[in-house]
Structure 1
């Protein structure tokens, strides 16, 4: 099977995933809004062993304790998200989360839900029929 690739805006960082994403969704949490400069972020995930950086290096920042965001140090594109501790009893270390829109073909990461809609901006109107959740 051909590897699926993605990367940052300037091309300094490239990654590949060995399988199509197993889940994707829109996150409306305030942290994602601030980190990405948008009303929500669209994340996708694969098993951690199925994600590999093939060019460059992802820079990390941990502004919120236990949350590590990865980005390109050259152009600033947000690339990855990792919860380093258990979140609501779930261990996320088995998964690699990445920004779905950074895939070369983002259409393969079909979102399944809107999460953290308790933080949704009032000027965003959701009418795509996806389920919504106040938290994750």
Structure 2
């Protein structure tokens, strides 16, 4: 469930943007191997939105048919995973990490636990990397950042972005 009546999101480079109106349904974390591969990560957080409440606001995703039933949408420029789609369904699933405000949507369920990493329970016990003594690296990244901001823009890319 989400507190916002409208969510926007998109890829890292800003080439593909979308808007979802209404409540996002069944926010969950999928651990299946197919989602792991699609996300390039250990799991994929997803939530559904009715197609009538969903619109692309910039660009067009590329699609990969990961099975005979499912296709996955992603940015063809930067590769960000964006959608899990069953074309004949009334809804489309969006990746929660692609939301402009991913903290607004808390997963309520996990699925496909047979593929979940067996060591996840130990993550909170890992040592925390110390903060750097200087901010030189972070300042350099910030000064050369090409990532789309976490909000809609009237024009993108900016003059700095390739």
Q: Which TM-score band applies after superposition, normalised by the shorter structure?
A: 0.7 to 0.9
2:115 to 116, 119, 122: 119
Q: Which runs of 5+ in 1 are unaligned?
A: 86-92, 128-136
CA positional deviation for 1:54: 0.5
What residue is the counterpart of 2:105 in the other structure?
109
1:48 counterpart (47, 51, 58): 51
What is the CA RMSD across the aligned residues, in angstroms?
Answer: 2.0
Would the aligned equivalents of 1:9 and 1:77 in 2 still touch at CA under 8 Å? yes
Regions of 4+ moved over 4 Å:
none
Counterpart of 1:35 (choices 28, 35, 38) is 38
Q: Does 1:97 align with 2:100?
A: no
Pairwise CA distance, 1:26 = 0.3
CA–CA separation in structure 1 for the residues paired with 2:43 and 2:121:
12
Going by fraction, where is helix more abundant, 1 or 2?
A: 2
Offset at 1:66?
A: 1.4
2:74 to 63, 66, 71: 71
CA positional deviation for 1:126: 8.3
Contact in 1 for aligned 2:26/2:109 (Cα 8 Å): no
Question: Helix, strand or coil for the counterpart of 2:8?
Answer: strand
In the alignment, what sits opposite 1:10?
A: 13
- Residues 84 and 96 of structure 1, relative CA distance in 2, 3 Å threshold: closer
CA contact (8 A) 1:3 1:17 kept: yes
Helix, strand or coil at the partner of 1:64:
coil
Counterparts of 1:50 and 1:110, CA distance in 2: 20
SS at match of 2:114: helix
Superposed CA deviations along residues 3-54 of structure 1, whole A, max 9, x for unmatched, are 4210000000000011231220000000001111111000011111111101
| Residue segments in structure 2 that go unaligned for 5+ positions in a row | 124-162
